[in-house]
Amino acid sequence: MFDKSSNPVLQDKIFRSESLQAGAKTMTVNGTIEKTGLLLLIVMVAASYTWQKFFNSGDVENAMSSLSGWMFGGAIGGFIVAIATMFLKKYAAYLAPIYAVLEGLFLGAISAFFESMYPGIVMNAVLGTFATFFIMLLTYRTGLIKVNDKFRGIMIVATGAVALTYFMSFLLSFFGVNMSFLHDNSMLSIGISVVVIVIAALNLLMDFDFIERGSAYGAPKYMEWFGAFGLMVTLIWLYLEILRLLSKLQSRN
C-alpha cells in the first residue's frame, strides 16, 4: 500500500484510485523521467521569451512594467492550471505542458528582474537547483535517508507550515501588514530561507519514492504526466527559494 507524499500534487491515494482503471499500458519510472525532461524544456523555452523581452525593453522599470502582465498572468494562470490538473488527472498530458508554459513565462520575467539586480544570480540558482536535485536523487538511491512513515509525517507538517506562512504573508499584505522577516536580508530571514530550501529539497525524496511506488503499483500510463507535473511543482518551488536566498545574501554585500 502506498504511503502519503507531502507534495499535495503527488498523493498516494491518487495512484490507488486511478490504478483501478489501468489499461494495458502502465506507468513507468523511465516514462515519467522522459516527460519531466520535456516539461523542463517547455519551461526553459517559455522562460527565454520573457527573459529576452525584459532585456530588450531598456531599463528595469520599463521592462517590469511591460512584463507585469506576463509575469502575474503566468503565476496566476499556472496556479489555476495546477489546481485543475490535480482534479483532472486524465488530462495531465494536456494540462501539464500548459502549466509549464505559464510557469516558464513567470520564471523568465522574475529571473530577469533578479539578474538585472545581481548579475550571475540566475545561473547560480539554476546550478544550485540541479545540484540539489541530483544530490537528493543519489541520497534516495543509496537509502541514506529512509522515506518511512515518520519521515513522511514530519514532511507533511513542515510543508504545510511553509504553505500556511506564505499564504498568511500574502493575505496580510492586503491589510498593510508586512512580514519583513520573510523578505528582508536579515540573518533571521536568511535562516528561514535555508530551512525552506531544505524542506523543498526533502520533498524531492518524497516525489522520487512516490513515482517509484506508482510505477510498481501499475498506475495507468497517463499518470506519468501527472507524476512529472508533481515533480515540476517541487523543482520550481526549489528554484524560486534558492533564487530568493541568493538575492538576500548578495544584497548584504
Using CA atoms, how far apart are residues 10 and 28, in angstroms rounded to an integer? 15
Residue 73 burial by Cβ neighbours in a 10 Å radius (0-12, 13-18, 19+): middle
| Distance set, CA 176 to CA 123, 164, 180 (Å) | 34, 18, 12
Read off φ and ψ for residue 174, nearest 5 degrees.
Answer: -70, -15
SS3 assignment, position 196: helix
pLDDT at 180: 73
Residue whose C-alpha cell reads 535517508 in the numeric block: 145
Using CA atoms, how far apart are residues 9 and 23, in angstroms rounded to an integer? 22
> Which residue(s) pair with 220 in the sheet?
26
SS3 assignment, position 220: strand
Residue whose C-alpha cell reads 540539489 in the numeric block: 132
pLDDT tens, the chain, 253 aa long: 344 455 555 555 555 555 454 445 888 999 999 999 999 999 999 999 999 888 887 666 776 677 788 888 999 999 999 999 989 988 999 999 999 999 999 999 999 999 989 999 999 999 999 999 999 999 999 989 888 888 989 999 999 999 898 888 878 777 777 777 777 888 999 999 999 999 999 999 999 988 988 888 888 888 899 999 999 999 999 999 999 999 999 987 7
**Could you tell me which residues come within 8 angstroms of residue 213 by beta carbon, excluding any fewer than 6 positions away?**
2, 3, 12, 15
To the nearest 10 degrees (0 to 180), the angle between helices 121-142 and 92-117 is 130
Rounded to 10 degrees, what is the CA torsion of 7, 9, 15, 19? -170
C-alpha cell at 40: 523542463
Using CA atoms, how far apart are residues 164 and 246, in angstroms rounded to an integer? 23
pLDDT at 175: 77
Sequential DSSP letters for 9-75: SS-HHHHHHHHTT--SSB--HHHHHHHHHHHHHHHHHHHHHHHHHHHTS-SHHHHHHHHHHHHHHHH
User: H helices then E strands: how many in the chain?
Assistant: 8, 0
User: Is-contact 224 213, C-beta < 8 A?
Assistant: no
User: Is-contact 46 239, C-beta < 8 A?
Assistant: no
pLDDT at 216: 83
User: Is-contact 244 166, C-beta < 8 A?
Assistant: no
Q: What is the CA radius of gyration of the chain?
A: 19
